[in-house]
Structure 1
Amino acid sequence: MGSMLNSMMRLRTRAFLLVVPYIVAALVKMVQYNLKKITVVPNGKEMIDIVLSRTQRQTPTVVHKGYAISRLRQFYMRKVKYTQQNFHDKLSAIIDEFPRLDGIHPFYGDLLHVLYNKDHYKLALGQVNTARNLISKIAKDYVRLLKYGDSLYRCKCLKVAALGRMCTIIKRISPSLAYLEQVRQHMARLPSIDPNTRTMLICGCPNVGKSSFMNKITRAEVDVQPYAFTTKSLFVGHTDYKYLRYQVIDTPGILDRPFEDRNIIEMCSITALAHLRAAVLFFLDISGACGYTIGQQQRLFNEIKSLFMNKPLIIVCNKTDLQPFDTLPEQDKKLIEEMKADAMKTVLGQGGEATSEEGVLLTMSALTEDGVIAVKNAACERLLDQRVELKMKSKKINDCLNRFHVAMPKPRDQKERPPCIPPGVLEAKAKEAAAQAEKEKRKTERDLEDENGGAGVYSASLKKHYILANDEWKEDIMPEILDGHNVYDFVDPDILHRLEELEREEGLRLADEAEDDFEMDGEELTPEEREALAEIRRTKSLLIQQHRMKKSTAGSRPIVPRKFDKDRQFTTERMGRQLTKLGLDPSAAINRARSKSRGRKRERSPEVMGEGDAMDLDNEQSNKKMRAMSRSRSRSRSKSRPPTEVVPGEGLKDSVQKGKAIKLAKKSAKKRNKNARKGEADRVILNMKPKHLFSGKRGIGKTDRR
C-alpha cells in the first residue's frame, strides 16, 4: 500500500513539473510585451516634491532641545533613511518596468533600437541606476555620521546636507528622466504585436495596395491615400480562418536602395521581415499606378528575398482592375515568372512539395474585392501547414502524442441516420431570408446618394419622415429667428382660423375701396395739380434712389444733431423752399418743427432772484410763468422701468416669466460669485503653493489640516 502511494505521488509531482514551465511561459508571454502599462516617469522637480512631501508627512516633525542625544540622532537618521528608501523605490520602478533590450524578443529589441537608438536608451537607464546607487551610498555615509552627532544643530545640518545631495543627484538626471518619459509615451502608442502567434506580413513598394488589402480582410481602419508612404509605422489587425485567429501586420513601403540609405520608416518593415515567423505577402502593382515599374519592384524583391527564407511566401499581383494579368507585356510577365521561381526555391528549401506552386502567385483587386478572400485563405493555409510541419518535426511531439486519444464510435446497428433539421428551424430560416430580401429591396440613403451624384452632391433630407397632415408641408422653410424675435413665441394654434378672418376683412376693405373708386390717375385734376403731382412723384423716386445709394455704400448713418450741421443742409427755410417749389403751403410744417420741444430750462424761484429782477418780471410773471408751469405740468418726467417689465423684442411672454428668468440667472451666478470669479471664463487658480507641501504635520486631536 505504501509503495502504491509513493508511485502516485511521484506521478503527480512529475505532472506538476511538466505543467509549471508552460504556466510560467504563459505568464511571461502575457507580461513581456505589454508596453502600455509602464508607469509615468516624473521629471526631476516632480520626483523631489513627491519624495520630500512624503517624508514630511510620514515621519515625525516635532523635536525639542531637551531630548536625549540618542533620540535626536534616531529622529534625523529616520528621515534620511526614509527619503533614501523612497528615492530607491521610485528609481527601481523605472528600471524594472522598462524592457531590457537583451532580454526580450529580438523583434522588439531591434524595433526599439530603430526607433530610439539602444545606446541612448541604455545610457538613460544606466544613469538612473547609477543615481539610485549613489543615493544609497550617500544615505549610508550620512547615517554613519549621524551616529556620532554631538548636538541638535549638528544632526540637523547633517540631515539637510544628506537630503540636499540626494536632490542634487536627481536634478542631474532630469534630462534622462525626460527622455525616458518621451520613450514611454511613444512605446505606449506602438501596436501590440505577438511575435509567437500566427502572423501574416504584408510588404512591398509604397502605394501598391497593402493597406487596402488589410482593410478588406480585417476590421483595422488604416488610412488609405493615393500617394506613397501614407503608412509610416506598423499597423496590426486580426482575421479568422478555420476557427483560428490570425494576426495581420501592415508594413510601410520599402524603396529599392542600399541598406545604409534606408530611413526609420523602412527599417520598421525590415525589422518585422527579419524577426517574425510569418507568411509573407509580397504585393506587386502590375498597373504601374504606384509610380514604380515591375522591373523596379523585382529589384526590390531580389534585394530583400534573403529575409523570406524559411517563411511561406506568396506573390500577389494587385490592381488587376486597371491592368489585367493576361494583357501584360511579355517582358513584364517574364519578370514575374522569375520572381515566382525564386519564391518556389524558398518553398522547396523549406522541404515543401512541388504541388504548392499553385498558391505562390495570385492575382487580386482590392477595389473590386476580386480574389481578396482567395489570397487570405491561401496565406492562412500555407502558414498553418508550415507550423504543423515544424511541430511534427520537433521532439516534443512524442510526449504530446502519448497523451492524445481519438475516440472512434462503433456503429450499434445497420440503420441509416441522416442529418435532420427540425421544421421550426426551417421556418425561422425562411422568415429570415424573406426579411433579408425585403431589406435588400428597400433603398437606403447610401443607394440614393450613389444614384444622385455621390457624396458632396446629394444631401439627405431630414424632413421626409415628418408626420404631418399634408405631405407638401414637409419641405416648408420655418425660420427660427425673424426680425430679432423667436418665431416659436408667436406660433398660434388658431393661426389658420385667424388668417381666414384677416383675408375676409381684407376682401371687404378692397370691396369698399372699389366702391369708392378713388384713384389718383390725374384725370380729374387741373393742369397745375397734375404738374405738382408729377413733380412730387419724381422727387420721391429721386429720394428713394438716393437712399438706396447711401445704403449700398455704407452711408446709412444716424442723423447728426443740428449743432454739427455745419453746411446748414437740414433747416426749416430749406424745407419751406422745397415745399413751396412743389406748390404746397409750408407754414404748418414749419410751425410744427419750431414748436417741437428742445428741452426744458430750469425756472428760477422768486426767492433766489434779486429785487431788480423781481421788479422786471412783475409784468411778465402772470403770462410767462403760467405758460412755463402749464408746460412743465403737461410734460411729466420719464420714469425708470421696473426690472420685471417686458420690453418688446426680449422674447419673453409676460412679467411673470421675466421674473422667473431673472431669478434663475441670479441663482446660476451664485456659485461663481462665491468662488470670487470674474466671470464664466475665469480659470485663474490663485493658490500657487499647495498646503500639503508647505505645512507641518497635524497635531494630536486635530483632523482638519485645511
Structure 2
Amino acid sequence: MVQYNFKKITVVPPGKDFIDIVLSRTQRQTPTVVHKGYAITRLRSFYMRKVRFTKQNFHEKLSTIIDEFPRLDDIHPFYGDLLHVLYNKDHYKLALGQINTARNIIEKISKDHVRLLKYGDSLYRCKCLKVAALGKMCTVIKRIGPSLAYLEQIRQHMARLPSIDPNTRTILICGYPNVGKSSFINKITRADVDVQPYAFTTKSLFVGHTDYKYLRYQVIDTPGILDRPFEDRNIIEMCSITALAHLRAAVLFFLDVSGSCGYTIAQQAALFHSIKSLFMNKPLVIVCNKIDLQPLEGLPEDDMKLVMGMKEEAAKTVMAQGGEPNDDGVLLSMSALTDDGVIAVKNAACERLLNQRVETKMKSKKINEVVNRFHVAIPKPRDNRERPPCIPQAVLEAQAKESAATEKRKLEKDFEEENGGAGVYSASLRKHYILASDEWKEDIMPEILDGHNVYDFVDADILMRLEELERQEGFRLETEGEEADFQYDGMELTPEEKEALAEIRRKKSLLIQEHRIKKSTAESRPTVPRKFDKDKKFTSKRMGRQLSALGLDPSAAIDRVRGRSLSRKGHKRERSENRDVNGGDSMDIDGGENPSKKLRMRSRSMSRSRSQSRPPPGEIVPGEGFKDSAQKLKAIKIARNSTKMRNRDARRGEADRVIPNLKPKHLFSGKRGIGKTDRR
C-alpha cells in the first residue's frame, strides 16, 4: 500500500567515521606486506590495488547515499512539497549535489594517481603516491562533512514521517486549532493522537485507518490552520496546506459552534472562504462539532447565516454527475465527547468519497476496456403473476416456537435481576442434583461427624460389604473354636526336650531384648558378610558351641557348611593322585574306562551347576534357534561382517554418532618456542 518507505534509508556516517570505515576496510582486505626486494611491477600493482580499493569503497558508500535519498522531482508532488516545507528543497538538493561532486572528484583522484603509479621507479615513490592519493580522498570527505551531517538529520526526521499513500482512499480533517480534529480521529481509528485543551497540540500529520463497506480508508489528522496570508504561515500550518493541495481525499472541515476553541464562527468562516480553492473537485463535509455545549439550532441568527453560507459554498465545490450542485450530507453535527453523530460523519465522508471515485472511473477511458467483461442478467417474466419475496409459513412457525421457548425459559441473569442483582443474588449449584427427592437438594451435608470424615464412609455397596465381612467374621470364629479344642500342653515331650524347648525360648527372648536395646541406642547396623569377618566372630566352631549349648547336635550343620569346600579340595586331590598312578592313561588293562576318568566325569557333572565353559562356535546349544551348525556359522559370519565397519570407526554401537576430534587442541594449538612447555 505505501509507496515511499523512508525508514529503509541507510545511516549516513559523519565525515571522520566515514574515513575511518573506508581506511580500516582497505587495511583489512588488501595485502599489507611489501619488501624492497620485490620486482618494480609487483610494487606498482601492490600500491595501485590499495588506491583502487579505497576509491571503490568511497564510491559505493557515496552512491548508496545518493540513490537511497528520494529525488524531489521523481516522487509524488505531495511528498515533494512536504519535504520542501520541512527541509527547504534548495538546501536538500545542494547537499546531495555536493555528495555527487565529491564522488566524481575521488574517482578523478584515483584515476590520476593510478596513472602516475604505473611509472613509479622505486618503493619510496610508489608509497608516496599512494599516501598522496588516500590523503586527497580523505580531504574531499572532510570538506563535505557538514553536508553528511545535514543529510543524517534529514534521514532521522524522514524516518519519523507517517506512511501516507497519496493514491488510496483518504479522509482529510482540517480546521482551526482546538476544534476537535484529534478527538475525532481517535474515535474512528486506532490512532493515539495527543489531545489537550490548548491550540497547536498537533504539530505534524498523523495517520489512522478505518473500514467502511469492507474497504480500508486512510484518515489524516492535520495541524490547525489560522486565517492569515499565505506567506505568513509557519511550517506546521504549511503541512496541512500541502496535504489539502495534493491529496485526492474527502475533506472534513471542522467547525466549533460553541466557540470554546478561542475563535468565533466568523473567524472560522473566513478561514473556510480563504482556503475554499483547495476543496475544488473534492467531497467536502462541514462538521459542526461540540454540539453538547452549543446545539446547532440554538445559534444566533448571524452565526447561522454564516454556517448556511458555508454550506452553499460546499455544495458548489462538489458537483454531482449531472453537473448540478449536490448538498446532501454537506452539513453534519456531532459531539466527540458524547459520540453523538461520530459514526454518521464517518459514513457520510466515506460514502461521498466512494461515489466520487466511482464516477471518476466511469468517466475515464479505462472503463471501455473492461465494460465488455460485465454482463447484467435480467430475467424475463414467464407470466403476469406477481411473486413478491416472502418467508415460508413453516419457517415462521418454527421461529414462533423458538421465540416462545426462549420467553418461557428463565436464565440465571433473570433470577439475578429478580433477587437483588449482582452481589446480592447467589446462584444455587445444587438445583440440578439428581436425588430421590427434590427436598434433599438444599440439605446441609456434614463433613465431620463424631470426629470422623463422613466421606470415608460413603460407599454405594456398603451393605453388601458389611454382609461379606460378617460372614468372614463368623467363619473365623468357628475356626478359632475348633482350634481351641486342641491345646499344646507339652505333655508328649520328654524331659530333655522340655529343657531344650525352655532354653530355646529363653535364648529367643534374650535375642529379642538385645535387638531392641541395640535399636533404641542407634546401634542397628547391617549384618557383616562372612568374607569380611576379620575378627572371626562368625565361624563354624562358634556355631557348634552355640548349638551344643542349646542341647542340639551341631555335626550336621557343620558338615553342611564345610561340605562344598571339602568336596572341591577332595576332587582336586583325587584327580592329581589318579593322574600320578595311571600315568595319564584313560583306559585300564581290561579295556574299561580308567577310574580317574570316571572320577573326572563325576566331578564335572557335580561342578557343572557352578560354571560351564563356552561351547565351540559350531556347536548347537538348545534354545539358540538354529537348525544346524552350518546355519549358526553363517549367522556368526554375517554378524561379524556387520560390525566390521563399526569397529573400524571405533564406534561403541549402532547408535554411536560421536564425531571424534581429529585435531586435539593440545596437539595442534600452535608452536612452542625454545624453552617453553606451555601450549597456547
TM bin, normalised by shorter chain, reads 0.5 to 0.7
Question: Which residue is 2:150 aligned to?
Answer: 179
Summarize the alignment of residues 66-85 of structure 1 with structure 2, pairs less than 5 Å apart.
66-85=37-56
Matched, 1:225 2:196: yes
Counterpart amino acid of residue 403 in structure 1: R
Match of 2:356 among 383, 386, 403: 386
Distance change (3 Å), C-alpha of 1:157 and 1:418: farther
Deviation at 1:41, TM superposition (A): 0.6
Matched, 1:274 2:274: no
Counterpart amino acid of residue 158 in structure 2: M
Counterpart amino acid of residue 126 in structure 1: G
Distance 2:272 2:43 in 1: 76
Matched, 1:318 2:263: no
Distance change (3 Å), C-alpha of 1:323 and 1:151: same
Q: Point out the structure with max Rg over C-alpha.
A: 2
Deviation at 1:283, TM superposition (A): 0.4
In the comparison of the two structures, how many residue pairs are matched?
412
Matched, 1:139 2:93: no
For the 8 Å contact 1:51–1:86, the answer to whether it is kept is yes
Distance change (3 Å), C-alpha of 1:418 and 1:92: farther
For residues 522-551 of structure 1, give each alpha carbon's deviation from its aligned partner in whole angstroms, at most 9, with x where no partner exists.
xxxxxxxxxxxxxxxxxxxxxxxxxxxxxx
Question: Which residue is 2:339 aligned to?
Answer: 369
The SS at the match of 2:328 is helix
Match of 2:308 among 313, 337, 340: 337
Counterpart amino acid of residue 242 in structure 2: T
Matched, 1:403 2:405: no
Distance change (3 Å), C-alpha of 1:291 and 1:415: closer
The SS at the match of 1:316 is strand
For the 8 Å contact 1:310–1:350, the answer to whether it is kept is no
Deviation at 1:348, TM superposition (A): 2.7
Distance change (3 Å), C-alpha of 1:172 and 1:418: farther
Distance change (3 Å), C-alpha of 1:371 and 1:352: farther
Match of 1:159 among 126, 130, 134: 130
Question: Which residue is 1:308 aligned to?
Answer: 279
- The alignment-based identity, stated in percent, is 79
Question: Which residue is 2:582 aligned to?
Answer: none
Question: Which residue is 2:327 aligned to?
Answer: 357
Question: Which residue is 1:26 aligned to?
Answer: none
For residues 60-106 of structure 1, give each alpha carbon's deviation from its aligned partner in whole angstroms, at most 9, with x where no partner exists.
11112121111111111111111101100000000000000000000
Question: Which residue is 1:498 aligned to?
Answer: none
The SS at the match of 2:318 is helix
Summarize the alignment of residues 486-501 of structure 1 with structure 2, pairs less than 5 Å apart.
none
Distance change (3 Å), C-alpha of 1:202 and 1:76: same
Question: Which residue is 2:65 aligned to?
Answer: 94
Distance change (3 Å), C-alpha of 1:155 and 1:253: same
Summarize the alignment of residues 387-466 of structure 1 with structure 2, pairs less than 5 Å apart.
387-405=357-375
Match of 1:240 among 211, 223, 233: 211
Structure 1 gap segments, 5+ residues each: 1-28, 445-700
Distance 1:177 1:442 in 2: 70
Counterpart amino acid of residue 282 in structure 1: F
Distance change (3 Å), C-alpha of 1:215 and 1:416: closer
For the 8 Å contact 1:208–1:283, the answer to whether it is kept is yes
For the 8 Å contact 1:69–1:150, the answer to whether it is kept is yes
For residues 327-352 of structure 1, give each alpha carbon's deviation from its aligned partner in whole angstroms, at most 9, with x where no partner exists.
11011000001111111111238755
For the 8 Å contact 2:314–2:327, the answer to whether it is kept is no
Summarize the alignment of residues 174-213 of structure 1 with structure 2, pairs less than 5 Å apart.
174-213=145-184
Counterpart amino acid of residue 281 in structure 2: N
Q: TM-score scaled by structure 1?
A: 0.55
Match of 1:249 among 220, 237, 243: 220
For residues 406-444 of structure 1, give each alpha carbon's deviation from its aligned partner in whole angstroms, at most 9, with x where no partner exists.
6789999x9999698999xx99xx99x989999999989
Question: Which residue is 2:9 aligned to?
Answer: 38
For the 8 Å contact 1:199–1:277, the answer to whether it is kept is yes
Question: Which residue is 2:187 aligned to?
Answer: 216
Question: Which residue is 1:287 aligned to?
Answer: 258
Distance change (3 Å), C-alpha of 1:350 and 1:104: farther
For the 8 Å contact 2:361–2:367, the answer to whether it is kept is yes
Distance 1:236 1:337 in 2: 31
For the 8 Å contact 2:51–2:110, the answer to whether it is kept is yes
Distance 2:53 2:412 in 1: 72
For the 8 Å contact 1:340–1:361, the answer to whether it is kept is yes
Match of 1:118 among 78, 81, 89: 89
Question: Which residue is 1:168 aligned to?
Answer: 139
For the 8 Å contact 1:310–1:349, the answer to whether it is kept is no
The SS at the match of 1:381 is helix
For the 8 Å contact 1:112–1:118, the answer to whether it is kept is yes
Distance 1:112 1:186 in 2: 10
For residues 90-146 of structure 1, give each alpha carbon's deviation from its aligned partner in whole angstroms, at most 9, with x where no partner exists.
000000000000000000000000000101100110000000000000000001001
Question: Which residue is 1:510 aligned to?
Answer: none
The SS at the match of 2:357 is helix
Deviation at 1:282, TM superposition (A): 0.3
Distance 1:136 1:200 in 2: 49
For the 8 Å contact 1:208–1:284, the answer to whether it is kept is yes
Distance 1:434 1:58 in 2: 80
Distance 1:317 1:158 in 2: 76
Distance 1:284 1:407 in 2: 47
Distance 1:342 1:45 in 2: 59
The one of the two structures with greater contact order (alpha-carbon pairs below 8 A, sep at least 6) is: 1
Tell me the C-alpha RMSD between the 2 structures: 3.3
Match of 1:328 among 296, 299, 318: 299
Distance 2:49 2:93 in 1: 34
Counterpart amino acid of residue 223 in structure 2: P
Structure 2 gap segments, 5+ residues each: 424-669, 672-679
For residues 553-594 of structure 1, give each alpha carbon's deviation from its aligned partner in whole angstroms, at most 9, with x where no partner exists.
xxxxxxxxxxxxxxxxxxxxxxxxxxxxxxxxxxxxxxxxxx
Distance 1:299 1:279 in 2: 21
Deviation at 1:400, TM superposition (A): 1.9
Distance 1:173 1:138 in 2: 16
Matched, 1:263 2:234: yes
Counterpart amino acid of residue 360 in structure 2: L
Deviation at 1:47, TM superposition (A): 1.1
